[in-house]
A and B are shown apart, each in its own frame.
Chain A
Amino acid sequence: MSLLSLRGLSTEFYSGGRWLEAVSDVSFDLRPGEILGLVGESGCGKSTIAYSVMQLLAHNARISRGQVLLGETDLLRLEEADLQALRGSRVSMIFQNPMTALDPLFTIGHQLVETLQAHLDINMHEARRRALSLLRQVGIPAAEERLRAYPHQFSGGMSQRIALAIAIACQPQVLIADEPTTALDVTIQAQILQLIRRLLVDERGSGVLLITHDLGVVAQVCDRVAVMYAGSIVECGEVAALFAAPQHPYTQALLNSLPSHRKARGRLETIAGRVPSLGDRPAGCPFAPRCPHTKERCENGRPPLIKVETGQEVACVLYD
Chain B
Amino acid sequence: MSSTTETPLLRAEGLSKFFTLEQGVLAGLRGTRRALRAVDSVSLQVHAGQTLAIVGESGSGKSTLGRLLLRLLLPSAGRVFFQDSDIFAMKRAQLRAFRRQAQIILQDPSASLNPRMRIGEIVREPLDIYREGSKSERRKRVQALLERVGLTSAHARAYPRELSGGQRQRVGIAAALALSPRLIIADEPTSSLDVSVQAQTLNLLAELQQDFQLTYVFITHDLGVVRHFADRVAVMYLGKIVEEAPAEALFAAPQHPYTQALFSAIPPPDPTQRVSWTPPQGEPPSPLAPPPGCHFHPRCPLAMPQCSRVTPPLVSREAGHSVACLLYE
CB-based contact A187/B203 at 8 Å: no
Q: Mark A252-278, 1 if CB is under 8 A from B, else 0.
A: 011101111111111111110010000
Q: Mark B260-275, 1 if CB is under 8 A from A, else 0.
A: 0111011111111110
Which of A128-136, A142-150, A215-223, A293-301 lies on the face that meets chain B? Answer: A215-223
CB-based contact A259/B227 at 8 Å: yes
CB-based contact B269/A186 at 8 Å: no
- Whose C-beta in chain A lies nearest to the C-beta of B223? A261
CB-based contact A217/B267 at 8 Å: yes
B3 interfacial contact with A, CB 8 Å: no
Contacts of B58 in A (CB 8 A): 185
Question: Chain B interface: which size bin?
Answer: 35 or more
A42 interfacial contact with B, CB 8 Å: yes
Given contacts A186-B262, A186-B266, A259-B228, contact A268 B199 (CB under 8 A): yes
Contacts of A185 in B (CB 8 A): 57-58, 221, 284
Given contacts A185-B58, A216-B268, contact A259 B225 (CB under 8 A): yes
A41 interfacial contact with B, CB 8 Å: yes
CB-based contact B195/A220 at 8 Å: no
B159 interfacial contact with A, CB 8 Å: no
Given contacts A41-B196, A261-B263, contact A190 B57 (CB under 8 A): no
CB-based contact B267/A190 at 8 Å: yes
Contact of B226 among A219, A239, A244, A261 (CB under 8 A): A261
CB-based contact A261/B268 at 8 Å: yes
Contacts of A220 in B (CB 8 A): 267-268, 271, 274, 277
Given contacts A213-B195, A261-B226, contact A190 B269 (CB under 8 A): no
CB-based contact B283/A190 at 8 Å: no
CB-based contact A260/B196 at 8 Å: no
Give bound CA distance, A127 to B224, whole Å. 45
Given contacts A158-B283, A220-B277, contact A254 B195 (CB under 8 A): yes
Give bound CA distance, A194 to B206, whole Å. 36
Q: Mark A209-242, 1 if CB is under 8 A from B, else 0.
A: 0000111111111000000000000000001100
CB-based contact B262/A264 at 8 Å: no
Q: Could you tell me the distance in whole angstroms from the C-beta of A132 to the nearest C-beta in chain B?
A: 21
Contacts of A255 in B (CB 8 A): 269
- Whose C-beta in chain B lies nearest to the C-beta of A222? B271
Please report which residues of chain B, range 122-181, place their CB below 8 angstroms from some CB of chain A when the two chains form the complex: 164-166
Give bound CA distance, A43 to B121, whole Å. 29
Q: Could you tell me the distance in whole angstroms from the C-beta of A67 to the nearest C-beta in chain B?
A: 30
Give bound CA distance, A259 to B164, whole Å. 21
Give bound CA distance, A91 to B224, whole Å. 35
For the complex, would chain B's binding face be called helix, strand, loop or mixed by DSSP majority? Answer: helix
CB-based contact B195/A215 at 8 Å: yes
Q: Could you tell me the distance in whole angstroms from the C-beta of B207 to the nearest C-beta in chain A?
A: 9
Contacts of B281 in A (CB 8 A): 191
Q: Could you tell me the distance in whole angstroms from the C-beta of A211 to the nearest C-beta in chain B?
A: 14
Q: Could you tell me the distance in whole angstroms from the C-beta of B279 to the nearest C-beta in chain A?
A: 3
Contacts of A215 in B (CB 8 A): 195, 269
CB-based contact B283/A219 at 8 Å: no
A189 interfacial contact with B, CB 8 Å: yes
Give bound CA distance, A219 to B271, whole Å. 5
Contacts of B224 in A (CB 8 A): 258-261
B213 interfacial contact with A, CB 8 Å: no
Compute the total of residue contacts between A and B using a CB distance below 8 Å.
Answer: 133
Q: Mark A153-192, 1 if CB is under 8 A from B, else 0.
A: 0010110000000000000000000000000011111110
A19 interfacial contact with B, CB 8 Å: no
Q: Could you tell me the distance in whole angstroms from the C-beta of A230 to the nearest C-beta in chain B?
A: 13
A28 interfacial contact with B, CB 8 Å: no
CB-based contact A261/B251 at 8 Å: yes
Give bound CA distance, A227 to B296, whole Å. 39
Given contacts A240-B271, A260-B268, contact A187 B261 (CB under 8 A): yes
Question: Chain A interface: which size bin?
Answer: 35 or more
B280 interfacial contact with A, CB 8 Å: yes
Give bound CA distance, A244 to B223, whole Å. 22
Give bound CA distance, A253 to B270, whole Å. 15
B200 interfacial contact with A, CB 8 Å: yes
Contacts of A265 in B (CB 8 A): 227-229
Give bound CA distance, A98 to B103, whole Å. 35
Give bound CA distance, A214 to B203, whole Å. 20
CB-based contact B227/A260 at 8 Å: yes
Q: Could you tell me the distance in whole angstroms from the C-beta of B296 to the nearest C-beta in chain A?
A: 11
Q: Could you tell me the distance in whole angstroms from the C-beta of A142 to the nearest C-beta in chain B?
A: 13
- Whose C-beta in chain A lies nearest to the C-beta of B280? A187
Please report which residues of chain B, range 50-93, place their CB below 8 angstroms from some CB of chain A when the two chains form the complex: 57-58
Given contacts A190-B277, A267-B203, contact A261 B166 (CB under 8 A): no
Contact of A219 among B196, B221, B262, B267 (CB under 8 A): B267
Q: Could you tell me the distance in whole angstroms from the C-beta of A34 to the nearest C-beta in chain B?
A: 14
Give bound CA distance, A240 to B272, whole Å. 7
CB-based contact B199/A270 at 8 Å: yes
B36 interfacial contact with A, CB 8 Å: no
Give bound CA distance, A157 to B266, whole Å. 16
Give bound CA distance, A124 to B270, whole Å. 47
Contacts of A188 in B (CB 8 A): 283
CB-based contact A186/B221 at 8 Å: yes
Q: Footprint of B on A, CB under 8 Å?
A: 41-42, 155, 157-158, 185-191, 193-194, 213-221, 239-240, 243-244, 253-255, 257-271, 274
Q: A260-B268, A265-B227, A268-B203 are in contact. List 13 more A-B contacts (CB 8 A).
A: A186-B266, A187-B57, A215-B269, A219-B267, A219-B269, A219-B270, A257-B196, A258-B269, A262-B251, A262-B268, A263-B227, A265-B229, A270-B199
Closest 7 pairs between A and B when the two form their complex, measured CB to CB = A190-B279, A216-B267, A220-B267, A41-B194, A259-B228, A268-B199, A257-B199
Q: List 8 A-B contacts (CB under 8 A).
A: A216-B269, A217-B267, A239-B271, A261-B263, A262-B268, A264-B227, A265-B227, A268-B203
